[in-house]
Amino acid sequence: MCHHTDYGSQQHFHHTAPRDRYHHWGRCCSPGYAPQRFPTREEIVEKLEEHLNQLRAETKVVEERITDLKKESQE
């Protein structure tokens, strides 16, 4: 849905072909796009925790590889 209150059956000047280089054609006005929605604090925390868990898993793999390499060099 567009952010323009007068967008309806009649075409608003904003939705016609651009006449100059300053014409605004944002995501909300482009066909097939929903208005931009910003993530909530809870969504941000969830994503950060997910990322942290991935980093911890990757760290564990790297630490195991280092341990294996040290063991191989001592043999």
Residue 2, judged by CB atoms within 10 A of its CB (0-12, 13-18, 19+), counts as middle
Q: Is the pLDDT at 72 greater than 50, yes or no?
A: yes
User: Cα 24 to the chain's mean position, in Å?
Assistant: 22
- pLDDT, one tens digit per residue, over 27-61 is 555 666 677 889 999 999 999 999 999 999 999 99
Query: CA triplet 24, 27, 28: central angle to 5 degrees?
Result: 90
Nearest CA-CA partner of 27 in 13, 38, 39: 38
Strands (E), 20-75: none
8 A C-beta contact, residue 3 and residue 35:
yes
Q: Where do the structural domains in the chain lie, given as residue ranges?
A: 1-37, 38-75
pLDDT at 70: 95
Report which of residues 3 and 65 the model is more confident about: 65
